[in-house]
Amino acid sequence: MLVQPHLFIPGPTNVPDVVRRAMDIPMEDMRSPEFPKFTLPIFEDLKKVFKMKDGRVFIYPSSGTGAWEAAMTNTLAVGDKVLMSRFGQFSLLWVDMAERLGLNVVLCDEEWGTGVPLEKYADILAKDTAHEIKAVFATHNETATGVSSNIGGVRKALDAAKHPALLMVDGVSSVGSLDMRMGEWGVDCCVSGSQKGFMLPTGLGILAVSQKALDANKTLNGRMNRCFFSFEDMIKTNDLGYFPYTPATTLIRGLRASLNLIEHEGLENIFARHHRMGAAVRSAIDAWGLKLVAKEPKWHSDTVSAIQVPDGVDAINVLKTAYYRYNTSLGTGLNKLNGRVFRIGHLGALDEVMIGGVLFAVEMALLDNGVKLKAGSGTGAAAEYFRSTTKKSASQAS
């Protein structure tokens, strides 16, 4: 195949050429006296992406799962009571990790296709007058179901109850693509990963931590055992521009290039672009007569759409058709959604023409699998949406 495969899974995302070139370098000395000149600005520029007011960012050579574990083991103790909600595969895995690490989980088990239950959280926190709950967890963007949740609303629930619990957010598929106001929303630990909005290969777990969480790390009694993910070890060396173990230097070189791209486009422009991409995909889904897993518009994600196939159609066959016949990778349905759902990732480095391409491939794969729809209906709806929302340049206007 002479053409590069078309990747539209919700991560890893497409890596821009400038980022790939930044990583295509000889190995370097990560202990050299010049290394801190490179690393120290990266820590500060990452804080801008999270919109932090204080605290610091840690970069672990891991996936986002490693950053999840770092957040828990550095700020909580075995037996601590925590409030969590489960409404998709990744919020499910976060709950599983918390339980396996020995935390006492107060669980809100929600319907898949919904998100963080703000009213339930508010009620539970208001009744916890003894402040036994030490942390509240919220998945900002549930990748399995294409659902985004209101993190600002979680903060309001905590404030209304005058509750001191830490606020922990999974932002793996949101940071760098959806608005994350860590400072304004009082988020204490926000987990992300290199392979989503940061437009890099998998391999960096990125964890933003507030000063409140850093203070909890210092004063915690009965803290969890940890070594590789220790805040203390990272702080000692990060302050000097180094790491406590061999860092993923090539990925961090790519991160520098990615942060440059983010700064050049501007965060607000990035969020607006992702909203346009997500809205265009949703317009195509409507035109096909299909439904999202997300139950209501308030849950719609601008980074991934999970699409239900009609009864009698196997989503696995749709995925295989797209892959083998049209050289296009789509996201599979996870857990109980397997065979019932396929996903289109629309985050990272992408534009209108790329969205048009994946919708074209999906349309053909659906038709090939017996889904009754009009050829061109989805791609046409997306084209009309893009045309109606594209701002004309000064030269075009004249």
How is 361-396 classified by DSSP, letter by letter? HHHHHHHHTT----TTHHHHHHHHHHHHHPPPPHHH
* Cα-trace Rg, the chain: 22
Q: How far apart are CA 210 and CA 45, in angstroms?
A: 15
Query: Above 70 in pLDDT, residue 11?
Result: yes
For residue 393, the model assigns a pLDDT of 47
For residue 96, the model assigns a pLDDT of 98
Q: How far apart are CA 317 and CA 241, in angstroms?
A: 49
pLDDT tens digits, 290-306: 999 999 999 999 999 99
For residue 394, the model assigns a pLDDT of 45
pLDDT tens digits, 247-258: 999 999 999 999
For residue 332, the model assigns a pLDDT of 97
CB 66 within 8 A of CB 229: yes
**Binning pLDDT at 50, 70 and 90, where does residue 187 land?**
very high
Triad 352, 356, 358: Cα angle to 5°: 120
For residue 5, the model assigns a pLDDT of 92
Q: What is the residue extent of each domain of the chain?
A: 6-10+266-397, 18-263
Query: Above 90 in pLDDT, residue 349?
Result: yes
Query: Above 60 in pLDDT, residue 45?
Result: yes
Query: Above 60 in pLDDT, residue 157?
Result: yes
For residue 3, the model assigns a pLDDT of 83
Q: Which residues of 232-263 are buried (b: 16+ CB within 10 A; e: fewer)?
A: eebeeebeebbbeeebbbbbbbbbbbbbeebe
Q: In 128-266, which ranges are continuous DSSP H helix? A: 151-160, 211-219, 231-238, 249-265
For residue 126, the model assigns a pLDDT of 98
For residue 222, the model assigns a pLDDT of 66
Give the mean pLDDT of 281-289.
Answer: 98
Q: How far apart are CA 52 and CA 186, in angstroms?
A: 9
Count of residues in the chain: 398
For residue 398, the model assigns a pLDDT of 43
For residue 275, the model assigns a pLDDT of 98
Cross-strand partners of 192: 206
> Which fold, 6-10+266-397?
Aspartate Aminotransferase, domain 1 (3.90.1150)
What SS3 class is residue 333? coil
pLDDT tens digits, 236-247: 999 999 999 999
Give the mean pLDDT of 42-51.
Answer: 98
Of all residues in the chain, the percent with pLDDT exceeding 70 is 97
> Which fold, 18-263?
Aspartate Aminotransferase; domain 2 (3.40.640)
CA nearest 23: which of 246, 257, 192? Answer: 257
- Dihedral angle computed from the Cα positions of residues 96, 97, 98 and 103, in that order, rounded to the nearest 10 degrees: 100
DSSP state of 197: T
Asked if the domains 6-10+266-397 and 18-263 are classified in one and the same CATH topology, the answer is: no
Query: Above 70 in pLDDT, residue 286?
Result: yes
pLDDT tens digits, 80-119: 999 999 999 999 999 999 999 999 999 999 999 999 999 9
**Binning pLDDT at 50, 70 and 90, where does residue 1 land?**
low
Give the mean pLDDT of 111-136.
Answer: 98
Cross-strand partners of 67: none
Cross-strand partners of 8: 330
**Per-residue tokens: 302:** 């601008």
Query: Above 60 in pLDDT, residue 397?
Result: no
